Copies of this chain bind each other. A is one copy, B any other.
Amino acid sequence: MTLSDRVEDLRSRLRAEPDRARITVRTTAALEGGMRCEAPFRRHTVVADEPPSVGGTDTAPNPLELAIGSLATCQAITYQVWAQILGIKVDRIEVDAEGDIDVGKFMGTAEGAEAGFTGIRLRVRLTGPEDEARYRELEEAVDTHCPVLDLVSRPVPVERMPPG
């Protein structure tokens, strides 16, 4: 099956059974001493650590890098998915992503600041045979459908689960 066939096949199945699209993504992250922390998902593990300056062993990206990484990769993959849906040819997709943060808030040395990113910037570079108008059409579709772009742009309600 081509990539485009796979995407269309999944779309057909989700149209037939829309409940299958409503999923819960879950993990238990565990930390024992130091800063290194592992969070399993299916057959994968997301690992975070901190540089020695923060008390870690720098064996993995830190959680801020994972957050910007999730945004950048979600943008790139959403470009690939929507290129298939719209029938737009793209040879290479590159996404520059950057986020500004004052980590003084995290460390308790800058109480006034916001704890998270104060601003995020994105730049997408597409290589392929289509004209500018088609790539702009693709960009608009991606901005509407990219899950992690929505996560960072919109406040998501966070609740505490009862002890268990």
| Residues of A that sit less than 8 Å from B by CB | 3, 6-7, 10-11, 14-15, 18, 21-35, 37, 39, 41-44, 46-48, 50, 52-56, 58, 60-82, 84-85, 91-110, 114-123, 125, 141, 144-164
Contacts and interface: CB of A to CB of B under 8 A. Distances in A.
Given A66-B46, A72-B28, A156-B116, A52 B6 contact: yes
Contacts of A98: 24-27, 161
15 contacts: A7-B55, A18-B109, A29-B95, A30-B93, A31-B93, A32-B93, A55-B84, A67-B71, A70-B70, A82-B108, A105-B147, A114-B150, A115-B145, A117-B151, A121-B158
Contact of A119 (B43, B55, B56, B157): B157
Given A70-B67, A120-B159, A21 B103 contact: yes
A106 B144 CA distance: 8
* Assembly stoichiometry (copies): 2
B116 A77 contact: no
Contact of A148 (B37, B64, B153): B64
Nearest to A47: B73
Contact of A147 (B26, B96, B116): B116
Nearest to A30: B94
Nearest to A72: B29
Contact of A118 (B43, B118, B156): B156
